[in-house]
Structure 1
Amino acid sequence: MDPEAFLDLANQVTKLKMYPYFEAAHCAIVCMYIKEDLAAGSHLFSRKHPLACWLSCMLSIFAGTILCNFLLGEPVLSVFKSSNQLLLATGVWYLIFYSPFDLTYKLCKFLPVKLVLAALKEVYRCKKVHDGVLHAAKLYPNGYLIMIIAGTVKGNGGAFLKLLERLIRGLWTPSAIEFMQPSFPTKACIAAATLFILDKKTDLISAPHALVYFGIAVFFIYFKLSAVLLGIYDPFVPFENLFCAIFMGGVWDALGRAVSAGKGDHTPAKVDVAKNGKTESGKKKD
């Protein structure tokens, strides 16, 4: 591709409007996840507890902005100031849970449609991470950690509020805390936020901002589609294992186990020799 045409494409991606198509895809994926999390009880729950079902979906859909506003000391409920976004989210929620014969949910689960929705959602995620980093940079120009946190929670806020979202549905699952086992989207958002900071605050990245943004969006889309099609859920795992083995005591723990195993191997042998010695001496005495 011609470099100028490629740069023009990247500029167009940065200027994409998220409403309504990208936001609708985000809402659909989130509502599908909650419906699948309810499993076989989704039909009964949505009929008996429509308010709790709606609240849990709205909390997950707007989780990134809610959590980011809370951490940055801004009004939490300002996320609902746009009636159009709220109506769009409510409409998608209604279609996913209450369409006749579950047609909307089955259509969204159809693989080609699911791939399109997933790709649109990842573009939306990239936009949210970027907006979170820029917003935090305006408030705290030198707070790099704050920028990373804001970009991460805005890009994957639903994972951090999963505990509260399930609690609204009457489930208490303390093991669902994202800090205990960070998912790949959280790690990807941390990496994307770091790249946006390096691009904005340093000269380490010489490429145009549009190319950096476009590259991160492609990164999100590629690994999301890989997860759907190939089952590749976390490409960071090999690097994490190597890092933990080198810097988090993995090597020393392995050496300690090897030494302990070596001592354990010698001890029974000595005992056996002693026992055999006693046996032999006993036989001689006899």
Structure 2
Amino acid sequence: MDPELFLDVANYIKEVHHIAYPLFDVAHFAMSCIHVRDDMSPNFLVVSRKHPLACWISCMLSCFAGYILANALLGEMPLAPLKDPKEVGLASLVWYLIFYSPFDIVYTLCKWFPVKLILSLLKEVQRVHKVHAGVHHTAKMYPHAYLVQVIIGVVKGAGAGFSKIAERFIRGTWIPTGHEFLQPTFPTKACAAAALLFVAEANTTYITAPHSFVYLGVVIFFVYFKFSSMMFSIHDPFMPLENLFCATFMGGVWDAISRALMSAREKPATKVPGVANGDADKKKL
């Protein structure tokens, strides 16, 4: 491919979120509301019909979780994302269609695999935009706080995972163990990797590629693994690396050695009674 053409494509992908507004926001809102609705099962009808306010609040929290949590961590107004009536109105319209469309046609259409695949891939493109925006915004406030930049990037990109426990609590379900710190999902891990890459690109000289190329590479990474997870059930490519890291540096090796030593000590102890009985039998003879 011509390098100039490739650079133009990279620049277009970087700005496509603004060019194609509100396509990516609609995809994000739709997938967020679908996730909340699926998480309600089998109490979907009870919550949506008898408690529509709780249903709406939990969906809005999921739709704007990244911005709300990031603002709260940075000392800004947490409800600032809700000040735009156009965004709130669009999210509310998507919520209403997902939960209350006639004959459930909108939800059924969005769950149809080709449509769901398109919505999911659009959501991943927007997720990269959120991670980058979070890192860039935090870098302006705290230029040398690299860990804070990574944290805000992760929160903005995967905020719905961290707000899940609050969403369930609003709907009357309390599952204290169901949160990202105990069970991090692939989007959270991918957002962490992307945030680290964006921070390293901005603060080191090791990455010499143009910023648009780096951004495009992250988009391809997110889209590729989302496509793979939906088509081939490849859900977490980080798992083998995590298992190797934990086995090597988080006590796995020493635990295995301890178990081997314990089993080696127990084997002679189990043989002693048998030897003693054999000697006693010889004496009787």
Q: Please tell me the TM-score bracket, short chain as reference.
A: over 0.9
Query: Which residue is equivalent to 2:171?
Result: 169
Query: Which residue is equivalent to 1:5?
Result: 5
Q: Which moved more, 1:41-50 or 1:65-74?
A: 41-50
Q: 1:271 and 1:212 mapped to 2: Cα distance?
A: 68
Query: Which residue is equivalent to 1:63?
Result: 65
RMSD value, Cα: 1.0
Q: 1:2 and 1:271 mapped to 2: Cα distance?
A: 80
Amino acid at match of 2:14: T
Q: 1:34 aligns with which of 32, 36, 44?
A: 36
SS across alignment from 2:16: coil
Amino acid at match of 1:3: P
Q: 1:277 and 1:100 mapped to 2: Cα distance?
A: 86
Q: 2:270 and 2:196 mapped to 1: Cα distance?
A: 54
Amino acid at match of 1:238: P
1:132 corresponds to 2:134 = yes
Q: 2:87 aligns with which of 49, 60, 85?
A: 85
Unaligned runs of 5+ in 1: none
SS across alignment from 1:238: helix
Q: 1:49 and 1:259 mapped to 2: Cα distance?
A: 58
Amino acid at match of 1:103: I
Identity of aligned residues (%): 53
Q: Any residues of structure 2 matched to 1:11-50 within 5 Å, and which? A: 11-18=11-18, 19-50=21-52
Q: Which moved more, 1:263-272 or 1:171-180?
A: 263-272
Query: Which residue is equivalent to 1:222?
Result: 224
SS across alignment from 2:17: coil
TM-score w.r.t. length of structure 2 = 0.97
Query: Which residue is equivalent to 2:151?
Result: 149
Q: 2:162 and 2:242 mapped to 1: Cα distance?
A: 21
Amino acid at match of 2:168: R
TM-score w.r.t. length of structure 1 = 0.97
Unaligned runs of 5+ in 2: none
Alignment coverage as a number of residue pairs: 283
Q: Which moved more, 1:88-97 or 1:268-277?
A: 268-277
Q: Any residues of structure 2 matched to 1:207-286 within 5 Å, and which? A: 207-281=209-283, 283-284=284-285
Q: Tell me how far 1:202 sits from its aligned partner.
A: 1.1
Q: Tell me how far 1:278 sits from its aligned partner.
A: 2.5
Per-residue deviation, residues 38-80 of structure 1 (Å, max 9, x unmatched): 1132123201100000000000110000000000000011111
1:76 corresponds to 2:78 = yes
Q: 1:116 aligns with which of 96, 115, 118?
A: 118
